[in-house]
Structures are given as C-alpha cells and as structure tokens.
Amino acid sequence: MSAAPPSALLEQWARTVQDVARGYALTFDDFLNDLDVRHALSAFPSTPELDALDAQFRTHSYPAGGCVWGVENAAAENWDKDTHWYYWRLPRAPGPAFGE
C-alpha cells in the first residue's frame, strides 16, 4: 500500500463503513483489502472520528469465527483478536458477490 496521509485513510475507512452499513456489495477479497485500510490506520493515533467509524463498523458487522485472513496470516503477521479486532469481523449484510 502506498503511503497516504491519515485523512485519506480515514476517508477510505469511512467509505468502507458506509458500504458495510448499507450492505456490503463487493467481494470478500475487496473486504479484505478494505480491512487492510483499517490496519494502516492503526499506525496513527486514534481520533474521535476513527473511534466513531469503528463503533459504526462494529454495529454493522459481527464477530467471525477466526481471523478473516486465515490462521496462517494472523500468525505470520502477529495479529491478535484484541488489537486487530477488525480482522475478526464480517459484514452483517453481505451482497451476493461476497461469496464468490
């Protein structure tokens, strides 16, 4: 991922949260890429805007049975369920393309 200012990352995450709230119409691979945007934001201090977006994302998603990137990736990247919580969630209303 190319370096982007936090405002650009926040805008991308806001679009993802809106997509998840409306019903995520994109594919599972697109969702993984969108979660990587949230992961990139973890390199920056939290803001009230990010906290609000995260709360909305949690409302419109549910806990997955495991890391959506897979156990191997979680171990290789040292991700854990508490710190990298977004990788352990799925949209409540995925569209038909999500399963393809």
Position 97 scores a pLDDT of 96
> Looking at residue 46, what is its pLDDT?
87
pLDDT of residue 100: 73
Task: Look at the alpha carbons of 87, 91, 96, 99 in this order and tell me if their dihedral is positive or negative.
Answer: positive
Per-residue pLDDT of the chain in tens (100 residues, 90 and over written 9): 444 458 999 999 999 999 999 999 999 999 999 999 999 999 998 889 999 999 999 999 999 999 999 999 999 999 999 999 999 999 999 999 998 7
